[in-house]
């Protein structure tokens, strides 16, 4: 029994941002996982561990097979599901993935030992903000940020140093079940730190000429950012 997610799961993760029938259609009609990825997916669902949903799995397959990024950074490993999915679909990639939760680290270590057959994945254990500065600058072609939502804006300046010009950053769960489009007065008090963090992220990125941004209404929303210049000016507005 996994304890981390039984009590404190974020309810926004289960509020679809597009028509539920379309979500069901995407989840049932796109090619399903097989083998160990299916087993890991089933385990995560059973234990309430938040992993990327199936439509995002299919999108990542496509991205990985098309881009074949040489160096990938992931923030938020959980049990290693998305890291192993990326490794499976991009056999030449080297993946560094960061996780701080001891229970998740135990499961990730086990799963990587069993299923990372090409030894593509390095598990970096600890708090992302402490580990990021030690990673090489201008190194990564692809970054997947899937950790604490309020902290994306805190990690982003450091992440941008680590990404090559032309590299792609994918940030997960940015619509918070639609809350981001509402006024703060309508947001539950317990969700306001995430709301504020995401608004700062949008202010700094969506209309920034140093980046090319796209919002995709998939899962709970993906923000895609291309790094266009060496020194990205985030011009963060106070919120």
- By the criterion CB under 6 A, which residues form the site for ligand SAM? 50-52, 76, 78, 81-82, 98-101, 104, 127-128, 146-148, 151
Closest residue to ligand SAM, judged by C-beta, is: 76
C-alpha separations of 220 from 136, 169, 216 in Å: 30, 16, 9
Query: Minimum CB separation from ligand SAM for residue 99, in Å?
Result: 5
Q: Which CB sits closer to ligand SAM, 42 or 127? A: 127
- The β-bridge partners of 74 are 97, 144
> Hey, what are 222's tokens?
């993906």
Q: Which CB sits closer to ligand SAM, 148 or 208? A: 148
> Hey, what are 179's tokens?
């809350």
Query: Minimum CB separation from ligand SAM for residue 171, in Å?
Result: 12
Q: SS3 of 156, please?
A: helix
Query: Minimum CB separation from ligand SAM for residue 158, in Å?
Result: 12
Q: Which CB sits closer to ligand SAM, 82 or 93? A: 82
Q: Which CB sits closer to ligand SAM, 117 or 228? A: 117
The contacts of residue 65 (CB under 8 Å, 6+ apart) are 89, 90
Query: Minimum CB separation from ligand SAM for residue 77, in Å?
Result: 6
Integer Cα distance of 151 and 61 in angstroms? 26
Rounded to the nearest angstrom, the gap between the alpha carbon of residue 47 and the centroid of all alpha carbons in its chain is 19
């Amino acid at each position: 029994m996994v304890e981390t997610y039984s009590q404190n799961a974020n309810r926004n993760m289960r509020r679809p941002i597009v028509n539920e029938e379309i979500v069901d259609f995407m989840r049932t009609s796109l090619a399903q996982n097989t083998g160990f990825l299916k087993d890991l997916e089933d385990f995560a669902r059973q234990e309430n561990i938040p992993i990327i949903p199936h439509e995002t799995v299919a999108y990542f397959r496509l991205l990985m097979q098309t881009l074949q990024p040489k160096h990938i950074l992931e923030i938020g490993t959980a049990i290693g599901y998305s890291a192993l999915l990326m490794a499976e679909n991009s056999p030449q990639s080297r993946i560094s993935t960061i996780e701080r939760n001891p229970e998740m680290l135990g499961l990730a270590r086990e799963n990587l030992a069993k299923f990372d057959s090409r030894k593509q994945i390095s598990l970096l254990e600890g708090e992302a903000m402490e580990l990021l500065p030690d990673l090489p600058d201008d190194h990564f072609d692809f970054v997947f940020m899937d950790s604490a939502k309020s902290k994306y804006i805190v990690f982003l300046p450091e992440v941008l140093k680590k990404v090559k010009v032309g590299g792609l950053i994918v940030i997960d769960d940015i619509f918070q079940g639609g809350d981001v489009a509402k006024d703060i007065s309508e947001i539950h008090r317990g969700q306001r730190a995430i709301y504020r963090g995401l608004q700062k992220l949008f202010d700094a990125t969506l209309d920034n000429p140093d980046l090319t941004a796209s919002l995709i209404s998939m899962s709970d929303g993906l923000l895609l950012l291309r790094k266009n210049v060496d020194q990205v000016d985030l011009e963060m507005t106070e919120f």
